[in-house]
Homo-oligomer: A and B are copies of this chain.
């Protein structure tokens, strides 16, 4: 970390929530342990008066209550979600925003309705290009007052795994996860899955809102317009073994065979291999990889390590079916996005 975290960054870290990495022991992240990134304030929404509208370049605009949505065929999917800024605080120099280390992830069982049939029911006009999703959370960012909104191309919006979710782990969405309704785009970083969704607008040209054109772009410098952040890059994380020191989080464990366990994911394709290093990345060993709880969810992995007394650094590396992996040094970028650098865990074996 190049410099101390500033008050602005601390204010963000104190209100947004990371997933403590020992929660990797849970295939489905318990409610309250899933990561949470909220740009503005968490709105308080009255479900009795809340409505979802679908309008713009459609033939039959729709207005739906929560009851209307819950009366439709329900879909449940386990989906791993990660913040696009995960790993930001480990980049040097450190881009200033929410200072995530590696804990901005979680897997929930989301329940809702498929988006595609709703769009078909509304009937897209022939000139439809994108679908804009607008939340109820309002704030100022980069000097621009805005409701949080993001768009998808009509092709991406029509994918059959894109949901409008009203429940999480079997209960109504908690306020912080978008009550009463959120978009859910499996495989993409979390910024796409607009929370507190209340308006869907089909448009005939690419949407140029702040979160599409200014935020969430991979930019090499201030003059680079950059490219949009979309799918989640591969990452593996170990549940830190042994016991921690409170202040440093250094781990202590006993000599002998220790089962190292964690989870790995990629938004580009299934996890094919996970490697574990117990010497800081000098040599690598194949981990056993298990089945994920869903096609867009993390895969468990395990490796039995014969731990010897002394100091060690554990690393893990994920490989997906598209050939993507975790680079030794991910490219620096202005916004601090997609830093899937290898996890490094310092352990003392006694």
Residues on A facing B (Cβ under 8 Å): 1, 3-15, 17-18, 20-23, 25-26, 30-34, 36, 38-42, 44, 89, 96-97, 99-101, 103, 138-141, 145, 174-177, 240, 243-249, 252
Minimum CB–CB distance from A38 to chain B (whole Å) comes to: 7
Determine the distance from Cα of A23 to Cα of B10 in the docked complex, in whole angstroms: 18
Determine the distance from Cα of A31 to Cα of B176 in the docked complex, in whole angstroms: 9
Identical copies in the complex? 2
B99 touches A245 (CB 8 A): no
B247 touches A99 (CB 8 A): no
CB-CB under 8 A from A244, the residues of chain B are 40-41, 139-140
5 contacts between A and B (CB under 8 A): A11-B101, A20-B42, A23-B175, A32-B34, A140-B246
B89 touches A10 (CB 8 A): yes
CB-CB under 8 A from A13, the residues of chain B are 10, 13-14
A174 touches B4 (CB 8 A): no
A176 touches B33 (CB 8 A): yes
Minimum CB–CB distance from A143 to chain B (whole Å) comes to: 9
Which listed residue, B14, B30, B243, B249, touches A101 by the CB 8 Å rule? B14
CB-CB under 8 A from A177, the residues of chain B are 32
CB-CB under 8 A from A96, the residues of chain B are 247
A42 touches B23 (CB 8 A): yes
Which listed residue, B41, B139, B141, B245, touches A141 by the CB 8 Å rule? B245
CB-CB under 8 A from A9, the residues of chain B are 5
- Once A14-B18, A14-B103, A103-B14 are accepted as A-B contacts, the answer to whether A30 and B176 lie under 8 Å apart by CB is yes
CB-CB under 8 A from A174, the residues of chain B are 30-33
Minimum CB–CB distance from A321 to chain B (whole Å) comes to: 30
A243 touches B10 (CB 8 A): no
Minimum CB–CB distance from A212 to chain B (whole Å) comes to: 16
- Once A5-B9, A38-B20, A140-B252 are accepted as A-B contacts, the answer to whether A30 and B246 lie under 8 Å apart by CB is no
B30 touches A175 (CB 8 A): yes
In the complex, the chain B residue whose C-beta lies closest to that of A89 is B10
CB-CB under 8 A from A5, the residues of chain B are 4-6, 9-10
Determine the distance from Cα of A96 to Cα of B5 in the docked complex, in whole angstroms: 13
Determine the distance from Cα of A7 to Cα of B1 in the docked complex, in whole angstroms: 7
CB-CB under 8 A from A248, the residues of chain B are 8, 11
In the complex, the chain B residue whose C-beta lies closest to that of A4 is B4
CB-CB under 8 A from A12, the residues of chain B are 247, 249
